Amino acid sequence: MAGIYIHIPFCKSKCHYCNFYSIASSKYVNEFVPALLKEIELQRDYLEGECIETIYFGGGTPSVLTYDSLKKILDTIQQTFEISGDAEITIEANPNDLDVKKIKEFDQAHVNRISIGIQSFFDDDLKYLNRIHTASQAEASVKRSQDAGFENISIDLIYGIPTLTDDKWKQNLDISFALDVPHISSYGLTVEPKTALDILIKKGKAKPVDEEKSVRQFKLLMQEMKKNSFIHYEISNFCKEGFVSQHNSNYWKGRKYLGLGPSAHSFNQRERQWNISNIEKYIESISQKKIPYEKEILSENDKYNEYIMTSLRTMWGCDLIHIEKKFGADKINLIEEKSQQFIKSGKMKKENNVLSLTDEGRLFADGIAADFFIEN
């Protein structure tokens, strides 16, 4: 199983918290799509003939693509790679883009999963984040997608927003459950360096994030998801039975994926590469049949560290038998020794030779994983 990620770097406006590569302009759209089609051809051998099980349009805002552009991209991928007959094809969309016409176009292009960037069902939270949709548009976009026949719908929610009280956070979750969406991705608001939000907070023009409130709201999130029969399969991801994101699971399970477009990352289990985060240079290089990327060859320790980091984020956990086969028995001794303190403190559990985080442990996931790392 392998996946393809396509980065569409265009936005109508830039959200204050976003640190993904994107531009608040459609200036290069007409040149970008032909360049992307050329990159697909140039990258035809990267996945070494593996069947493609997932295709994911991320951004930026992929829903700004016209139907013709979306269809051309998918047709070119179909002609270039072997695509599974039941491949999961996801597109991210903003609520204000999801009118009846746009949703119908997704269906006609054979997109079968929509990920909607809602973030909150309250207008004051959306204003703080500089989102351009409204709370009413958020609810309406989900209902329209469902009315059009889409069952596999994911929504994004953000907790820890300074304007978001605990009571409003509970209401956000209740609205999501009432809408009957089968997948929810939920992230704590993080202030990344040099983002607009970071600058506004430093200038005293925006309220800072309260870490204690973020922890409270994450605990409430886990509690409410459990009550409503959602599976907590990755730290920030919850789903009903049968609605796990197959594409994102590729990342967490260490499978191969190809990233297309500016700033997109690729991984072939031996090395990682990433395209330049500059659309002008990307288009120029591709026109010369050169992919503008940098790469890193992974050492055995890098691969081991990555497996620890990604596996501990998931409900599938860290498989000690897999580690012994892949990385050697000496790693097992290290893990057994290190894990004892976390098991005793209730942050980890061990069942059937698999180590996983408890709900308490999920609050400290990155720090716990780092404790098992080996330096090169």
Show me where the domains of the chain are located: 2-251, 300-371
Contact between 121 and 159 (Cβ < 8 Å): no
Q: What is each CA distance from 151 to 305, 355, 368, 374, in whole angstroms? A: 36, 33, 36, 43
> If you count DSSP H runs as helices and E runs as strands, how many of each does the chain have, helices first?
15, 15
- Sort strands 256-260 and 237-239 into parallel, antiparallel or unpaired: unpaired
Cβ 167 vs Cβ 175: under 8 Å: no
Phi, psi of 315 (to 5 degrees): -70, -20
- 326 vs 51, 232, 266, 319, 375, CA distance in Å? 23, 27, 22, 11, 18
**Residue 216 neighbours by CB under 8 Å, 6+ apart:** 166
Q: For position 27, what pLDDT does the model report?
A: 85
**pLDDT tens series, the chain, 376 aa:** 899 999 999 998 888 888 889 998 888 989 999 999 999 999 999 999 999 999 999 999 999 899 999 999 999 999 999 999 999 999 999 999 999 999 999 999 999 999 999 999 999 999 999 999 999 999 999 999 999 999 999 999 999 999 999 999 999 999 999 999 999 999 999 999 988 998 999 999 999 999 999 999 999 999 999 999 999 999 999 999 999 999 999 999 999 999 999 999 999 999 999 999 999 999 999 999 999 999 999 999 999 999 999 999 999 999 999 999 999 998 998 899 999 999 999 999 999 999 999 999 999 999 999 999 998 7
Question: DSSP assignment, residue 28?
Answer: T
pLDDT at position 281 is 97
* Fold of the CATH domain 300-371: Arc Repressor Mutant, subunit A (1.10.10)
CA 65 to each of CA 69, 76, 91, 104, 169: distance values in angstroms, whole numbers, following the listed order: 6, 15, 10, 14, 32
CA 267 from chain centre, in angstroms, equals 15
Extract the tokens encoding 204. Answer: 């005293």
CATH, domain range 2-251: 3.20.20.70
pLDDT at 45: 97
pLDDT of 291 reads: 96
Look at residue 14 in the predicted model and tell me its pLDDT: 83
Q: Which residues contact 72 (CB under 8 A, 6 or more apart)?
A: 33, 37
How far out from the chain centre does Cα 320 lie?
Answer: 26
One DSSP character per residue, 227-266 reads HTT-EEEETTEEE-TT---HHHHHHHTT-EEEEESTT-EE
Q: How far is CA 223 from CA 43, 173, 347, in A?
A: 44, 11, 16
pTM of the predicted model, to two decimals? 0.96
Are the CB atoms for 46 and 267 separated by under 8 Å? no
d(CA 22, CA 11): 7
| Residue 318 amino acid letter | C
